[in-house]
Amino acid sequence: MTTVTLPTRSSCYPVRLVFLFVYPKSISMANSRNPRILPCAFLLISLFFSSSSALFSPSDNHLIVCGSSSPATLEGHRVFQPDATCRYSHLHSYGPRISLSNSADSSLLPSPLHGAARVFPRPASYEFHIKEKGAHLIRLHFYPFSSSEYDLSSALFHVSVSEFSLLANFSTSVPVLKEFIVQIDTESIFINFIPAQDNTIAFVNAIEVISAPTDLVLDMGSLVKSGQVEKFEGLSKQAFETIHRVNMGGPKVTPFNDSLWRTWLPENEVSVKLDASDSETKSFSGRINYLKSGASREVAPDNVYQSARVMDKSSHNMSWELVWHS
């Protein structure tokens, strides 16, 4: 069997391109009616490392399904507990806590997490107890179904975590998963849902709060502007939104094959305009040898490292245009 050794810090190591939004520290429950969001996006070309290739086991792995009276299980035996009975989270509300059930056939739903929703006509917060401070992945699941009382596709609301604004005037008519990376330095966090107007509602179907590997986001990256690249420090104190995970040159990677339960899409499933006429895809099916202080499965799984898009030696440029909606 052929083995590929991923390089360490001292050699020519791989670079991962991550597209993220950066949000300011400007929101709280007191002023969340009009959150201010930094009107720009950063392309962080960051070098990610991990001190160990051991199987990642997060200290905090809080999974709740909202509005449901029974647990929901995803692929990989991930069990989401009902929010009303979960021992590591608590719901605070300034108004009624409405539990809404989806009347659709459960076998036809995109996910077991879409069978119910928690609806908030007034501001509400989920409090999660944190065992280990540091970076955390926060995933919010939204599936806007209709009932005799509410049409969730008409919801319009804000979402914040501590001082960070995550979503502003958010609304969706399709199933969507929103993922954020947030630094948590307290023993508990509050995920706040605030209707944008007096006559609108907020809702959520499921929430994940998971400890991230310590080196998932380093403190320094590169800020790419028109015609220049600048160093940007203080990344570990910011909040980020994941926009795209693209497995360049490779197939789709599902959460079952990722230690952090992430989905990596192939190029043809993302709004990618690729200018790389002199490039080609390469793949590798052998064993990957992860070295200490090098890249790891927590940064990306084997299937991501086993494929690449490679430039011809005579090529001078390879660029992507990725489109997203904020």
Segment 65-95, tens digit of pLDDT:
999 999 999 987 899 999 999 999 999 998 8
Q: What pLDDT, on a 0 to 100 scale, did the predictor assign at position 76?
A: 75
Hey, what are 77's tokens?
């035996």
Q: What is the DSSP letter of 249?
A: T
Structure tokens at 184: 């948590």
Q: Are 194 and 34 in contact (CB under 8 A)?
A: no
By C-alpha distance, which of 89, 183, 71 is closest to 129?
89
Find, among 166, 153, 78, 154, the residue nearest to 125 by Cα.
166
Q: Mean pLDDT for each 10-residue chunk of the chain (326 residues)?
A: 46 38 39 39 38 66 96 90 94 92 89 96 96 94 94 97 93 96 94 96 97 83 82 86 87 87 84 65 84 77 86 65 61
Pair 139, 159: CB distance under 8 Å: no
| CA–CA distances in Å: residue 292 to residues 29, 50, 243, 302 | 43, 7, 29, 16
What's the per-residue H, E or C state across 22-45? Answer: EECECCCCCCCCCCCCCCCEEEEE
Instruction: State the Cα–Cα distance between residues 21 and 44, nearest whole angstrom.
Output: 10
247 with 79: CB under 8 angstroms? no
Enter the pTM of the model: 0.79
Rounded to 5 degrees, what angle do the CA atoms 242, 163, 262 make?
20
Choose among 63, 54, 67: nearest CA to 87. 63
Distances (CA, A) of 256 to 75, 243, 253, 303: 6, 20, 8, 12
pLDDT digits (tens, 9 = 90+) for 104-158: 888 889 999 999 999 999 999 999 999 999 999 999 999 999 998 899 999 999 9
Measured CA to CA, the distance from residue 180 to residue 167 in angstroms comes to 10
Whole-angstrom Cα distance, residue 241 to residue 227?
A: 25
Task: Give the pLDDT of residue 133.
Answer: 93
Chain-centre distance for alpha carbon 261: 10
The Cα-based distances of 235 to 14, 22, 84, 244, 279 in angstroms read 20, 9, 35, 19, 32
- Give CA 234 to chain center in angstroms: 20
Position 276 scores a pLDDT of 57
Which residues make Cβ contacts (< 8 Å) with residue 31, sequence separation at least 6?
none
Which pLDDT score, from 0 to 100, does residue 34 have?
A: 40
Indicate the fold that domain 61-211 takes in CATH: Jelly Rolls (2.60.120)
Please list the residue range(s) of the chain that carry CATH number 2.60.120.430: 61-211
For position 45, what pLDDT does the model report? Answer: 36
The predicted structure's pLDDT at residue 70: 95
How many CA atoms, within 13 angstroms, populate the side-chain half-sphere of residue 219?
4
* pLDDT at residue 31, rounded to an integer: 40
C-alpha to C-alpha distance for 257 and 266, rounded to whole angstroms: 15
